[in-house]
Structure 1
Amino acid sequence: MALLDIKNLSLYMDIGGTIVQALEKVSFTLNEGEIKALVGESGSGKTLVVKAIIGALPGYWQVKADRLNFKGQDLIDLNYEQRRHIMRRDIAVVFQEPTSSLDPSVKLGSQIEESIPEEFVNKGRFWERKKHRREIANSLLHKVGIKEHERWLNCYPNEIPRDVSQKIMIAMALASEPTILIADDSTRGMESTTKTQILRLLVKLNKTKNLSILFVSHDLLAITSIANSMTVLYCGQTVESGKVKSLLKRPLHPYTKALLDSAPSFQTSLPVKSPLKTLKGTIPSFQHLPTGCRLGPRCPNAGKECVQAPIMRNIQDHQYSCHFPLHVVNKKISKKQAQTSTEPLSNDNVDNNAASSGERNT
């Protein structure tokens, strides 16, 4: 069952009096019990997608989508109170900088207790309710691996290390027993030991609580260790989506392959001290977006067809948006055929010789 269903999500921003399209037809689904990764380099629009889902964008920015549904409800059509209720109870977010999300003037215990919904607290006298809230807060800290709860609950945010503050943010997110947890680059800048602890915690929550997780990051090693499926963004466009194992084994889009090539962990035959492969240039600014495929100016496979936006194609639940996909013969098909294509990846449509097939390989 698809809990979060997004199709053709577009975002129009006003930058200095100029309207730019920051997100262009971003599409993906998050199923029940699934860990979905949203990956892309900085500036690809990952955080904008998260803010569009939770309704945290400025009112003068325009959001359009064929579907932006949570459990069949269109989030765009909901009013402020209805959207806020869903965000408080069903969709929780852990942002990439936990210290900036915590109130520096309030102790952590009070902040966690405030995040607990009123209906979860036993009815009774005020001191009984307060005691029960503290018991729930202690239990939440134990769930995220913090044993010395009394020590941290009496601290202010500036008095705790970053890994503890991140776990506390996860505890606050779990207080309402949400259906979906969105982790927006929650392991950025962490040392490997702390990062491993956070990733194990997310996997544990997914398996024990059947918690669906949207894991937003540019850390491919972290993503491949926990995610079931992955959607790759570049400059506000969806370029490839599918199962993690499928994308690692046979990436069809040049950008996905470039991301994998840039990570030493995925280059088993890489000689010692050899330079990593990179794409030339940088991600364009919103004021200077290229026409058609936004990767075109940096893509080693680019051709004249790339001035037109590529159509999203589907091969065995593996979607890609490219005029010159890797490992696939570039057949001339119509737009309708491309959207409904389920052609398998077989030896008949795989060609390693670009000269004989017209395919462009990196």
Structure 2
Amino acid sequence: MNLLDIRNLSIKLLSPTAPILAVDRVSLTMKEGEVRGLVGESGSGKSLLAQAIMGVLDDKWEVHADRFHWRGQDLMRLTPDERKQIITQDVAIIFQEPMACLDPTTTIGEQLEEAVSVEKLSGFFWQRGKQRRLAAINLLHKVGIKNHEICIKSYPHELTEALCQRVMIAMALARRPLLLIADEPTAAMESTNQGQIFRLLASLNQLKNMSILLISHDLENLTHWTNTVTVMYSGQFVEAGTTEQIFNTPFHPYTRALVDSSPRANMHIPAKSRLMTLPGSIPILQHLPIGCRLGPRCPKAQQACVQAPKVKNYHGHQVSCHYSLKDSY
């Protein structure tokens, strides 16, 4: 049974003129213990999808889905409050800007203690303060912060960004989630700190059997840490499969372009040569192309691309394209 099973999820922005379809019929599944990458350029709808799963989008966004199951339970049949109660108990999210998510007026220790669930405390009420303190220290140790005395007394601005991200992960782990959504967790970090955060997430997956949805714009980086990958472009589903399938035999022209622009694929080209890129840029929400949204930039675009392509499944390797690259391998 899938942990998370979403079919044809659409997200509309309710503007004063006409609704804008920001995410168009995207499907996503997560199994227990799986590490899935969600890849795409900035503006492809990755973060919107993550926020829709968490149920934190405000009233200007409208979410619809043919299926939205969590551990076999149909969340679309529940009220927003019931759905939020289930998701916040079992799913946690960490964002790409930890400094902006932490309260600058409160110490790290106080914020961690607040994140500890009351259900994990026992005894009389005067004993719970010490229990919260010990739970906060234990969480810091879990994410690799050994010098907890200094960290607990510090304010967010007194810590490095890498340490703040570890604190955010510790807060996410406070409720022992079954699924952790990491939205660009290392976006502004140096490569050394990036590796530390990714290794930490990998250890949580292996030791706690925690499922992780790892969101990033860097396809090559995800190949080292994920089992499966889903690719999005401009709010539409592009391709999904195992990490090996996506990186070694991509079926969609957009995925092919992502792979060809990676450093590994360009190791043998002469110095100062131009990397392979698609012409143009990702469309803005106010001027989305009809049909396949990659059409204006796609080297294989033809007349049929004015209609949205259907998803084709090749033994678990899914692609949404009228003219896929399957036959070229």
Question: 1:310 aligned to 2:309?
Answer: yes
User: TM-score, normalized by length of structure 2?
Assistant: 0.97
* More moved, 59-68 vs 306-315: 59-68
Query: What's 1:213 paired with?
Result: 212
Query: What's 1:5 paired with?
Result: 5
Contact kept, 8 Å, 1:7 with 1:68, in 2: the verdict is yes
Query: What's 1:43 paired with?
Result: 43
Q: Which amino acid aligns with 2:231?
A: V
How far the C-alpha of 1:273 sits from its partner, in A, is 2.3
Find the aligned partners of 1:154 and 1:287 in 2 and give their Cα distance. Answer: 46
- Classify the secondary structure of the residue corresponding to 1:181: strand
Q: Which amino acid aligns with 1:123?
A: G
Query: What's 1:120 paired with?
Result: 120
Find the aligned partners of 1:294 and 1:80 in 2 and give their Cα distance. Answer: 31
Q: Which amino acid aligns with 1:206?
A: N
Contact kept, 8 Å, 1:264 with 1:276, in 2: the verdict is no
How far the C-alpha of 1:320 sits from its partner, in A, is 0.2
Q: Which amino acid aligns with 1:149?
A: H
Contact kept, 8 Å, 1:94 with 1:173, in 2: the verdict is yes
* Structure with more contact order per residue of length (Cα contacts < 8 Å, sep ≥ 6): 2
How far the C-alpha of 1:80 sits from its partner, in A, is 3.7
Find the aligned partners of 1:325 and 1:292 in 2 and give their Cα distance. Answer: 15
Find the aligned partners of 2:57 and 2:161 in 1 and give their Cα distance. Answer: 27
Find the aligned partners of 1:80 and 1:11 in 2 and give their Cα distance. Answer: 16
Question: 1:279 aligned to 2:278?
Answer: yes
Question: 1:67 aligned to 2:67?
Answer: yes
Query: What's 2:148 paired with?
Result: 149
Find the aligned partners of 1:144 and 1:276 in 2 and give their Cα distance. Answer: 38
Find the aligned partners of 1:24 and 1:85 in 2 and give their Cα distance. Answer: 26
Find the aligned partners of 2:60 and 2:187 in 1 and give their Cα distance. Answer: 30
Query: What's 1:20 paired with?
Result: 20
How far the C-alpha of 1:214 sits from its partner, in A, is 0.6
Query: What's 1:101 paired with?
Result: 101
How far the C-alpha of 1:221 sits from its partner, in A, is 2.8
How far the C-alpha of 1:125 sits from its partner, in A, is 4.1
Per-residue Cα deviation, 1:41-76 (whole angstroms, up to 9, x for no partner) = 000000110111111112242211011111122233
Number of residue equivalences:
329
Question: 1:326 aligned to 2:325?
Answer: yes
**Identity in percent:** 49
Per-residue Cα deviation, 1:197-256 (whole angstroms, up to 9, x for no partner) = 000000000000000001111122321110000000000000100000011111000000
Find the aligned partners of 1:68 and 1:59 in 2 and give their Cα distance. Answer: 19
- Classify the secondary structure of the residue corresponding to 1:247: helix
Query: What's 2:91 paired with?
Result: 91
Find the aligned partners of 1:32 and 1:194 in 2 and give their Cα distance. Answer: 27
Any gaps of 5 or more consecutive residues in structure 2? none
Query: What's 1:167 paired with?
Result: 166
Per-residue Cα deviation, 1:287-341 (whole angstroms, up to 9, x for no partner) = 111111000000011111111111100101000011111132xxxxxxxxxxxxx
- Classify the secondary structure of the residue corresponding to 1:68: strand
Contact kept, 8 Å, 2:220 with 2:259, in 1: the verdict is no
Per-residue Cα deviation, 1:24-53 (whole angstroms, up to 9, x for no partner) = 110020000000111000000001101111
Query: What's 2:293 paired with?
Result: 294
* More moved, 206-215 vs 86-95: 86-95
* More moved, 167-176 vs 95-104: 95-104
- Classify the secondary structure of the residue corresponding to 2:14: strand
Any gaps of 5 or more consecutive residues in structure 1? 329-350, 353-362
Find the aligned partners of 1:243 and 1:318 in 2 and give their Cα distance. Answer: 7
Find the aligned partners of 2:209 and 2:64 in 1 and give their Cα distance. Answer: 30
- Classify the secondary structure of the residue corresponding to 2:112: helix
Q: Which amino acid aligns with 1:131?
A: K
Contact kept, 8 Å, 1:199 with 1:222, in 2: the verdict is no
Query: What's 1:137 paired with?
Result: 136
Q: Which amino acid aligns with 2:19?
A: I
Say if 1:75 and 1:101 are closer, same or farther in 2 by CA, change over 3 A. Answer: farther
Contact kept, 8 Å, 1:51 with 1:57, in 2: the verdict is yes
Per-residue Cα deviation, 1:272-294 (whole angstroms, up to 9, x for no partner) = 32211111001111111111100
Kindly report the root-mean-square deviation, in angstroms, between the aligned alpha carbons of the 2 structures. 1.3
Q: Which amino acid aligns with 1:189?
A: A
- Classify the secondary structure of the residue corresponding to 2:77: coil
Q: Which amino acid aligns with 1:200?
A: R
Find the aligned partners of 1:169 and 1:87 in 2 and give their Cα distance. Answer: 18
Find the aligned partners of 1:114 and 1:266 in 2 and give their Cα distance. Answer: 46
Contact kept, 8 Å, 1:42 with 1:218, in 2: the verdict is yes
Contact kept, 8 Å, 1:264 with 1:270, in 2: the verdict is no
User: TM-score, normalized by length of structure 1?
Assistant: 0.88
- Classify the secondary structure of the residue corresponding to 1:301: coil
